[in-house]
Structure 1
Amino acid sequence: MNGPGHHKLHSGMEFDGYRLEEKLHTGGMAALWRVTDLRERHPATQEDGTQLPLIMKVPLLYSSDDPTAIVAFEVEQMIMPKLKGAHVPRYFGAGDFDAQPYIVMEQIAGTSLRSRFEQAPLPIAEVVDIGIRVAHALQDLHRQHVIHLDVKPSNIMFRPDGTAVLIDFGLSRHDRLPDLLDEEFRLPMGTGPYISPEQVLGVRNEPRSDLFSLGVLLYHLATGQRPFGHPTSVAGLKKRLYRDPIPPRNHRSDLPSWLQEIILRCLEVEPRARFDTAAQLALLLQHPDQLQLTARAEKQVQDGYLSVLKRRFQAAGVEPALSQSASDQLSRAPIIVAALDLTGGTEALAESLRNITRRMLQTEPGARLACLTIRKVSRIGMDESLIQQGENIHVKQLVDLKHWARPLNLNPDKITFHVLEASDPAGAIIDYAHSNQVDHIIIGSRGSSALRRYLGSVSAQVVAEAECTVTVVKANEK
C-alpha cells in the first residue's frame, strides 16, 4: 500500500514494504516500533538465514511544537546512511516528510547504559571497562567524520558481546554534510548534565566535546553524583565555563588517583586540555601506568573563590565561535540561498525562481543550495504550531520546499531546506545569510500591488541590507 500519510499508526499497518508489529517505546520526540521487512529480497538477513530484528523510528510531529524535533530527525536521516561498523545500528531505509517520515534500523539486542546508571556508584573495574568501550565507539564515529554531541546513558547501548553502540544522531555534526541545527537555531543543543562548555557557546565542530560528555558519564558511574548537576537554563549551563566540579575522590575515597586524573582531564573547560582523541583516552584507561599524573590526581576540593572569579570574567568575554565544517570541500564551495514565499507567491514566480537557481548552479558546480521560507508569526513564542486539522504547518512548508526543489535533481548532500519562524521575513533572511556566510541570495519579487506598497517589499529590504550578492527574480522571467 502507499504511505500512511500522517494518520495514526497501529499494529499490523503495512507501508513501504514494512509491517508494524508493536510499539516498543515512546520518547519525547519519537516512537520506536518493531517492524517486519516484507520485501522478497530484503537486506536484513542474518548469516543463519533469519531476519535481523528491525525497529522503525517515527518522529512525533504533532505532540510537540518544537521545530528542533523536525530538524533533528532530518539530521538523523541524513547522517545514518553514511555510518558503518559495529558501533552504530545498521541502517536500512527512511521515509520522507511528504508521506510518512521514519528511519528503519537494526534493533540492538543488548542493553542500554541507562539501566546501569541507576546502580551507580559501580565497581571501579566496571567504570573503567565502560569507559574503554565507549571511547572505542567514539573513536570509530569520529573517524567517520561525525561528532555525536549528545553522549548520554540512554544513547549508549551494548551488544551481547559487549561492543558499545551509539544511537540517536539527531544533534550530531557530520563534517562533510550541512549542519542544519547550527544554521537554524542559536540556543545550545545538547542534554543539560552532559553538554560541553564549547557547545554551550554554540561550537559544534569540536570532536573533544564527546570526550567531555564521556567524562561526565565516568564521574557519575564512579561516584553516583553529577559533576555539574542538572541545569535547565542557559545561565545554569554556563557555570561549567568557570566552576570546576567537586573532585570525584571527595565523593569516593577508594577511587584511584589515576582515574580522577582521567576524569578531571576529560572535564577541562578548554578542549585542548583534554585528551587529543578518544583512542588515546581508551589506551590510558587500559594502561593507567602510562598516564602522567598532575595536580588533578590528588585534588581534594574545588578551586578557590579567586580562581573561579578570574575564570568567570574570562568566560564573560568569550564570543561563541561560528561553527564551520571541517571539510575543505564545503568551506570552498559557495552557499546559495533560494528564498521562497510559499503562501503569497505564484506558481509562475516559483518556476522563474527555479530556472534562475538552476542556471546559477550550472555555473557553480561546487555550490550548496539552501532553500528557505519564512513562516510568519505575530509574536515569537505565542504562535500556535498546529492548525485545526492537526496538520503541522512547519512540516507542510518543509514538504512544499522539497517539492519545489525536486526538479533541480541535486545530490542530497548539496541541498538543505529551512522553515524559519519570524515576524520580520526580510530580517530573518538577512540574519540567516549573515550567520551562515551565504554568498548569494535569490529571492522573488511579487511585482507592484496595493498589498506590497502597504507592507513594503521584502526583496527590496534584502537587497538593501544583505552583505552578499542578491538576485531579485520576477515572474515569467526568461
Structure 2
Amino acid sequence: MQRFEAGTEIDGFELVERLPSGGMAGVWRATNPRFDFPLVLKIPFLDPGADVSVILGFETEELILKRLTGPHVPRFAASGSLADVPYIAMEFVTGRSLADEIGNAPRPADEVTRFGVEIAKALAALHRQKVVHLDLKPENIILATRGVVLLDFGLARHAELPDLLGAESSVPMGTAAYISPEQVLGERSDPASDLFALGCILYQLATGEEPFGRPATFAGMKRRLYHAPRPPRDINDAIPRWLEAIILRCMEVDRSRRYSEAAHVLSDLRNPDQVVVAKGRARPEKGMWAAIANLFRKVDDKSLVGRPAGPRGQAGPSIVLAAVDLANGSDALAREVLNETARVLASREDSWLACVTVLKTEIIGDTPATDESGSSAYVKRLVALKDWAHPLHMPEDRISYHVLEAVSPADAILNYAEHNDVGHIVVGARSSSAIRRHLGSVSTKVVARAFCSVSVVRLKAVEEQGRHHKEDTAE
C-alpha cells in the first residue's frame, strides 16, 4: 500500500493534514490553487487482498458525486485513476456532525423536529437528482451553516447509472442500525429506504436508543421485518404524539404505509396539526404460543415490504454482458470479443454494457492476491478491463466493469447474468482440446445454461483468418 504524508503532492493537490478516517479510505485536508474552496482528498485503501467493496464504493462515489449539485452535498473537484493514484477531491464542509448530537440524546422535541426538517430537505434535494443515499446515518450528516450536508456516497444508487455494488452482490449493504427492510433483502432502488433511516435517526434523537440495536448478522438485521421497536413514547413520554406518529410512519416495514417522499415528511414536521395520530395501536402478540405460531407461519419476506413507492422499480434498459478472458492480456480472442460486442451494441443502442472478467481462484488453499510485483491482482485486472473496453468509447453512464473472483468462470458469468437480468451475453471460446471436450468449456456451459441469447466468438476462426492473411501476403 502506498504511504502518504503531509506535503505529498498528487495531481497538483498538496496533502496538508490527515483527518479521522474509517477503514475504507484515508481522508486528508488538501490545497490546490485551482480551487477557491477548502478541499479534502479521499484516498481508498487498496491493500492487496482488501475487500472488493472498497474499490466498488470508490468508483460509485466518484460517478455519483460529480453529478450532484446544490448546498446539501460537497462540491466535486477532481478524481484520480485506479491505474495511478485513486482519489476523490471534494469540498471540505465545516460544521458539526449529527453524531455529536446523537451522543447527547434524548433531545427536546423541538430540536428533534428541527434536525428532521433539515435532513428531510437534504433528502428531497438528493432524491430529485435521482440518487438514493442508502447509508444515511449520523456520521454522514454534517450540520453546516448552509443547512444539512450529506457525505459518503459509496453505497449510493443513481437511477440512471449502472449499480456497481448491486450488480455483484445481493447481500445487505448499509449500517445495521439504520438499514431498511428492503435493503436487508438486497433491494437498492427506492428513496423510501432513506426515509426509513431518517425515522431511525429521529427515534434515536428522541429516545436516546437505537430502535433495532446494531445486529452483526443477517438474521439479526432481518428481525426488523417482523419485530417492531418499542414505541418512542414508551421510552420517553415527553415526545409529542404527532412526532411519534411521524417517526413510526418513516419506519413502517410495508412501503405502502411508509412515507414515499421526503417532501411529505418535511411537510408533516412543519405542520404538526395535520399529522393523523392513531387513537390506539395494536400490540404485537407476545408469549410462548405466539412464538410457536410464528414458526409455522409461512411468509414471503418481500411481500412484507411491498413494491417500491416510485417508478424506480420499473425495468431499465437491457444489459449486454461482455465476458472477456484477460488472464494473458488483450490477445486475439479478447480483441475479437471486443469487435463482436461493438456489433451487438450497434443493434441495441439503448443497452448498458457490463464488462466482465474472472479472476480464477483455487478450490483448496489461498489464491495469491498480488502479482509478482506486489500489486493487487484485482486492481490490475480491473485496469486491464477498462483499457480493453476503451476503444468502444462508451459514455460512463452506459458501461460498468466487474472483476469476478470465482473457481468456475462459467458459473460466475451465469450467476452475474441471472442476478442482473442480462439480455445478451458475448463470450469467447478458445480452440478445442481434449481437456475442454471432457470437462466442457466456459462458452459451452454458458450457452447451455444461460437464460438469454448468447454470441460465441471462436478463437479458432480468428487464428485461421490470421493464417490465411499471412498466406495471401506471402503470395
Question: What is the aligned counterpart of 2:94 among 109, 132, 147?
Answer: 109
Q: CA deviation at 1:385?
A: 3.6
Q: CA deviation at 1:454?
A: 6.0
Give me the whole-angstrom Cα distance separating, in 2, the residues matched to 1:206 and 1:416: 21
> Any idea what SS the aligned residue of 1:213 has?
helix
CA contact (8 A) 2:319 2:423 kept: yes
Determine the structure 2 residue equivalent to 1:143. Answer: 128
Question: What is the aligned counterpart of 2:110 among 125, 134, 147?
Answer: 125
Determine the structure 2 residue equivalent to 1:373. Answer: 357
Matched, 1:445 2:429: yes
> Any idea what SS the aligned residue of 1:442 has?
strand
Give me the whole-angstrom Cα distance separating, in 2, the residues matched to 1:78 and 1:278: 24
**1:133–1:346 CA distance, 2 compared to 1 (3 A):** closer
Amino acid across the alignment from 1:37 = N
Q: CA deviation at 1:392?
A: 1.7
Note the alpha carbon deviations across 1:144-191, whole angstroms, 9 max, x for none: 001111110111111124x00111111111111111111101211111
**1:394–1:246 CA distance, 2 compared to 1 (3 A):** same
Determine the structure 1 residue equivalent to 2:12. Answer: 17
Matched, 1:318 2:301: yes
Determine the structure 2 residue equivalent to 1:402. Answer: 386
Matched, 1:285 2:269: yes
Give me the whole-angstrom Cα distance separating, in 1, the residues matched to 2:389 and 2:286: 57
CA contact (8 A) 2:6 2:17 kept: yes
> After superposition, where does 1:37-186 map in structure 2 within 5 Å?
37-38=32-33, 42=34, 44-45=35-36, 52-62=37-47, 65-161=50-146, 163-186=147-170
CA contact (8 A) 1:241 1:312 kept: no
Matched, 1:26 2:21: yes
Give me the whole-angstrom Cα distance separating, in 1, the residues matched to 2:365 and 2:129: 37
Q: CA deviation at 1:231?
A: 0.4
Amino acid across the alignment from 2:239 = L
Note the alpha carbon deviations across 1:294-324, whole angstroms, 9 max, x for none: 14xx659665457787777767423489999
Determine the structure 1 residue equivalent to 2:403. Answer: 419
Q: CA deviation at 1:357?
A: 1.3
> Any idea what SS the aligned residue of 2:256 has?
helix
Give me the whole-angstrom Cα distance separating, in 2, the residues matched to 1:130 and 1:314: 40
Give me the whole-angstrom Cα distance separating, in 1, the residues matched to 2:282 and 2:444: 62
Q: Percent of counterpart pairs with the same letter?
A: 44
Q: CA deviation at 1:260?
A: 1.1
Note the alpha carbon deviations across 1:409-448, whole angstroms, 9 max, x for none: 1101111000111111101111111111111111111212
Determine the structure 1 residue equivalent to 2:471. Answer: none
Question: What is the aligned counterpart of 1:233 among 194, 217, 237?
Answer: 217
Determine the structure 1 residue equivalent to 2:244. Answer: 260
Give me the whole-angstrom Cα distance separating, in 2, the residues matched to 1:186 and 1:64: 21
CA contact (8 A) 1:202 1:323 kept: no
Give me the whole-angstrom Cα distance separating, in 2, the residues matched to 1:164 and 1:307: 43
Question: What is the aligned counterpart of 1:273 among 251, 257, 261?
Answer: 257
When the two chains are superposed, the root-mean-square deviation of aligned CA atoms in Å is 2.7
> Any idea what SS the aligned residue of 2:66 has?
helix
Return the TM-score normalized by structure 2.
0.90
Determine the structure 2 residue equivalent to 1:195. Answer: 179
Aligned length in residues? 459
Note the alpha carbon deviations across 1:73-104, whole angstroms, 9 max, x for none: 11111111110100100111111211111111
Give me the whole-angstrom Cα distance separating, in 2, the residues matched to 1:424 and 1:325: 38
Determine the structure 2 residue equivalent to 1:48. Answer: none
Matched, 1:355 2:355: no
Q: Which runs of 5+ in 2 are unaligned?
A: 466-475
Give me the whole-angstrom Cα distance separating, in 2, the residues matched to 1:309 and 1:381: 43
Determine the structure 2 residue equivalent to 1:3. Answer: none
> After superposition, where does 1:323-334 map in structure 2 within 5 Å?
326=311, 331=315, 333-334=317-318
> Any idea what SS the aligned residue of 1:171 has?
coil
**1:112–1:180 CA distance, 2 compared to 1 (3 A):** same
- Segment of structure 1 superposing worse, 186-195 or 358-367: 358-367
Give me the whole-angstrom Cα distance separating, in 1, the residues matched to 2:321 and 2:2: 33
Q: CA deviation at 1:199?
A: 0.8
Amino acid across the alignment from 2:50 = D
Q: CA deviation at 1:464?
A: 1.0
Amino acid across the alignment from 2:3 = K
Give me the whole-angstrom Cα distance separating, in 2, the residues matched to 1:402 and 1:431: 22
Give me the whole-angstrom Cα distance separating, in 2, the residues matched to 1:317 and 1:247: 25
Amino acid across the alignment from 2:125 = D
Determine the structure 2 residue equivalent to 1:463. Answer: 447
**1:319–1:264 CA distance, 2 compared to 1 (3 A):** closer
Amino acid across the alignment from 1:13 = T
Q: CA deviation at 1:253?
A: 1.7
Amino acid across the alignment from 1:88 = V
Matched, 1:472 2:456: yes
CA contact (8 A) 2:181 2:253 kept: yes
